[in-house]
Amino acid sequence: MSANPSRRRFIQSAAVLGGAALAGSTASTTRAALAPETREPAEKTDKSNPFTLRFGLASYTTRKLSLDHTLQIAKRLNLSCITLKDMHLPLSASPEITAQNAQKVRDAGLDLYGGGVIYMNSQAEVDRAFDYARAAGFRLIIGVPQHELLDYVEQKIKTYNIAVAIHNHGPEDRLYPTVQSAYARLEGRDKRFGLCIDLGHSQRCGIRPADDILQFHDRLLDIHFKDVSDSTRAGTTVEIGRGVIDIPATLEALRSVGYKGIASYEYEKDADDPLPGLAESVGYVNGVLTMMNRNTA
């Protein structure tokens, strides 16, 4: 596969990729991750200031590995935040066990800010999701609620003060294939009811992730950060920078809208041994951010 134009431009302009994979992240801890009401409008973004993001790990990346191994990988790559899928923090566990395992993650020095993707096909599943999130101390549920449950989910958000970010799932999905399909159903709802934009699924729908960010940022609560091989339903996850997503444009869009949330890597390739490809992805993104800030200094 030939490198995409954004990757070629970046490699031509910077020789920073080689050592960036295990470099310190550009995490910023100056604002709460889930506070959309505090985001500055795009026109007020000061490009003379360094652009920083808090990076995390979506644990679907390590779905075939243990929780302990997952935490080791996150710490090795200096990913300070994490969301857990239920293979690492089972939905079926008691509240006491859930709380104990969540504390184990925090004792390892990671910000366990959310969980998911969690499917909500009935009121009972919504109840279970919020009880689980409360036991784990989540600030955010990354979820896929059925359309008829949206009012009920919003009531739970207000009762529990736990945000919910609807995850777009690409052209195969009937509920929320695109970011726009989720956004349209959130009009007038509590601002804690928002979006988790999956960059790969946007691109697989033929939509530039940068455009989704620019258009729907007022509801943006979380990001699944990745790259894919093609802009059709045939696209699959690849190392960031080797696919078709314009990563510099995506990061520039996040800077433009003043995004203050978390971007969690979800590297779905190489499930048995995701570390090499994930490390390459982290290094590429860190390198792009370094060049962005160098060019605006």
Give the tens place of pLDDT for each residue, 145-165. 999 999 999 999 999 999 999
* The pLDDT value given to residue 49: 77
For residue 280, report the phi and psi dihedrals to the nearest 5 degrees.
Answer: -60, -40
pTM of the model: 0.86
Report residue 270's pLDDT band, with 50, 70 and 90 as the boundaries.
Answer: very high
**Burial state string for 26-43 with b = 16 or more CB within 10 A and e = fewer than 16:** bbeeeeebbebeebeeee
- Domains of the chain plus CATH, in order, are 53-264 (3.20.20.150)
Per-residue pLDDT reduced to its tens digit, 19-65: 343 333 333 332 333 434 333 344 445 566 789 999 999 999 999 99
pLDDT in tens, 113-130: 999 999 999 999 999 999
Facing residues of 116 across strands? 142
User: What local confidence, expressed as pLDDT, does residue 34 receive?
Assistant: 43
Question: Looking at residue 130, what is its pLDDT?
Answer: 98
Say whether pLDDT at 16 is over 50: no
SS3 of the chain? CCCCHHHHHHHHHCCCCCCCCCCCCCCCCCCCCCCHHHCCCHHHCCCCCCCCCEEEEEHHHHCCCCHHHHHHHHHHCCCCEEEECCCCCCCCCCHHHHHHHHHHHHHCCCEEEEEEEEEECCHHHHHHHHHHHHHHCCCEEEEEECHHHHHHHHHHHHHHCCEEEEECCCCCCCCCCCHHHHHHHHCCCCCCEEEEEEHHHHHHCCCCHHHHHHHHHHHEEEEEECEECCCCCCCCEECCCCCCCCHHHHHHHHHHHCCCCEEEECCCCCCCCCHHHHHHHHHHHHHHHHHHHHHHC
Could you report the per-residue pLDDT of 69-111, keeping only the tens digit for each? 999 999 999 999 999 999 999 999 999 999 999 999 999 999 9
Mean pLDDT, rounded, for 166-191: 98
Read off the pLDDT of residues 220-263 as tens digits, 9 standing for 90 and up.
Answer: 999 999 999 999 999 999 999 999 999 999 999 999 999 999 99
Q: Are 144 and 120 in contact (CB under 8 A)?
A: yes
Q: Are 69 and 273 in contact (CB under 8 A)?
A: no
pLDDT, position 21? 38
- Taking the CA atoms of 92, 149, 204 and 140 in sequence, report the sign of the dihedral they define: negative
Reference 141, options 157, 124, 158; nearest CA is 157
Mean pLDDT along residues 276-292: 97
Residue 141 pLDDT greater than 50, yes or no: yes
> pLDDT grade, residue 295 (50/70/90)?
confident
pLDDT value at residue 28: 34
pLDDT top residue among 29 and 131: 131
